Amino acid sequence: MSDFSQNGIISSLHDFGTKSTKDIEKDLLKFSKERKMELILPSLYSELEGDALPRIVSEISKVNYLSHIIIGLDRANKKQADKAHKFFKKLKTPFSILWNDGPRLKKLHNELKKKNLAPNELGKGRNVWYCLGMCIARDNARSVALHDCDIKTYDRRMLAKLFYPVVNPFFNFEFCKGYYPRVAQGKMNGRVARLLVFPLITALEKTIGRSDYLEFMKSFKYPLAGEFSFRRNVLSELRISSDWGIEVGVLSEMQRNFSPNNICQVDLADTYDHKHQELSIGDDKKGLSRMSTDIIKTLIRKLATQGNSFSLETFRSLKATYYRSALDLIDTYRSDAEMNGLKFDSHTEEKAVELFALNIMKAGESFFKNPMDTPFIPTWSRVKSAIPDFLERLKHAVDEDNKKHK
């Protein structure tokens, strides 16, 4: 059972197990009469062949409050795109698939590229960005939720709780972030959050000083959760990161645009498991090594925009302070694991910390070499200003791709 704690500057909405899924969904159905809801699912084609997505589709098929589902499909050829339509027909809710590798969407992407408005790399950020564009173009939803397609422990209660804070008309939340314990198969997961983000924020406070932004980030129980929801007015001005810093980037945008009173986090599950990335010690372009570097750069860039200066000496101090903070946390996690009967590999944990410490310096080098680097994809309001009819043509292209499968 969740606790009562309110330890940060944003609201934490708990799950005490006192309200049934059926009753939460009953409220959402009532709200949906005036406040339509759309769900975004950014998916790789390979996830259709895994264990998680079939379960997710089965669970979503049991809900009756969604008006539409937008599915971003990456890395799919023509034959695979056709299979995807058959796969998602199990959904009871109307849906649109954005076939990102198809000729229509590629043509639109190239048009944006010529004007320097396109996402500059493949990945979840690009997929999510186009899905948000489709949502804006449809101009139907009052609230939108997004979650990954690799959640092995998915339950429809997660979706209901994710939507509830931004759909309830008596709440004033514009944005909601999910959280949960990352414990599965008898061990602690969530290494990047546990061993990088939390001790890095502590180290940043010690090296550059306290700030509203760091206080904001500290308030989230699981800042790397891929599950979040927001009201429609957030969409057009939202800057999406094109690299693996997307979750931290979205939180940074919320901190810039909204009061903490308009932001909350919600307890989504007692247990959560999804596809795990390799540490990739020997290849900093893959796995958790790449992810950690992108997250560090996202945090540093955000702090730099707020007037903080970073020198080589700052990064050296940051690395040393982080390393000590992370090692101290490993001792805490070891005790927590033992008390709960979980397996705990101190050697593997320390290897991760050593890698993340090294990547702090790599992120610093990248920051100095590319001071004008802008990893954020332009906002949709900027695209609309540059190409007024683009969103209309995006919707038309998606509708044409989906037409023959109706």
DSSP for 114-152 reads HTT-S-SS-SHHHHHHHHHHHHHHHT--SEEEE--S-BT
- 130: closest CA among 97, 103, 178? 97
In the prediction, which pLDDT does 2 show?
A: 59
In the prediction, which pLDDT does 367 show?
A: 87
Half-sphere exposure of 112 (CA within 13 A, CB side): 28
pLDDT digits (tens, 9 = 90+) for 152-188: 999 999 999 999 999 999 999 999 999 999 888 899 9
pLDDT for residue 24 is more than 60: yes
Confidence of residue 369 (pLDDT cuts 50, 70, 90): confident
Q: Are 85 and 46 in contact (CB under 8 A)?
A: no
- 322: closest CA among 195, 168, 231? 195
Q: Are 220 and 265 in contact (CB under 8 A)?
A: yes
Helices (H) then strands (E): counts for the chain: 15, 12
In the prediction, which pLDDT does 404 show?
A: 81
In the prediction, which pLDDT does 281 show?
A: 75
Count of CB atoms within 10 A of residue 395's CB? 18
State mean pLDDT over 232-242.
89
Average pLDDT, the chain: 93
* Percent of the chain clearing pLDDT 70 (strictly above): 97
pLDDT for residue 352 is more than 60: yes
Alpha-carbon distance of 269 to 177, in angstroms, equals 13
Q: Are 319 and 357 in contact (CB under 8 A)?
A: yes
* Percent of the chain clearing pLDDT 90 (strictly above): 81
pLDDT for residue 328 is more than 90: yes
Of the listed ranges 70-74, 226-230, 237-241, 359-363, the least confidently predicted one is 237-241
In the prediction, which pLDDT does 283 show?
A: 67
**Which residues neighbour 151 within 8 Å (Cβ) at sequence distance 6 or greater?**
52, 56, 158, 272, 273, 274
Q: Phi and psi at residue 20, in whole multiples of 5°?
A: -70, 160
pLDDT for residue 372 is more than 70: no
In the prediction, which pLDDT does 134 show?
A: 98
Alpha-carbon distance of 189 to 272, in angstroms, equals 9
Alpha-carbon distance of 59 to 153, in angstroms, equals 11
Alpha-carbon distance of 285 to 181, in angstroms, equals 28
pLDDT digits (tens, 9 = 90+) for 27-62: 999 999 999 999 999 999 999 999 999 999 999 999
pLDDT digits (tens, 9 = 90+) for 78-126: 999 999 999 999 999 999 999 999 999 999 999 999 999 999 888 899 9
Confidence of residue 370 (pLDDT cuts 50, 70, 90): confident
pLDDT for residue 1 is more than 60: no
Confidence of residue 278 (pLDDT cuts 50, 70, 90): confident
The one-character DSSP state at 35 is S
In the prediction, which pLDDT does 374 show?
A: 65
- 292: closest CA among 399, 160, 196, 388? 196
**Which residues neighbour 365 within 8 Å (Cβ) at sequence distance 6 or greater?**
none
- 166: closest CA among 5, 31, 23, 10? 31
Q: Strand runs (DSSP E) across 24-86, as ranges?
A: 37-44, 68-74
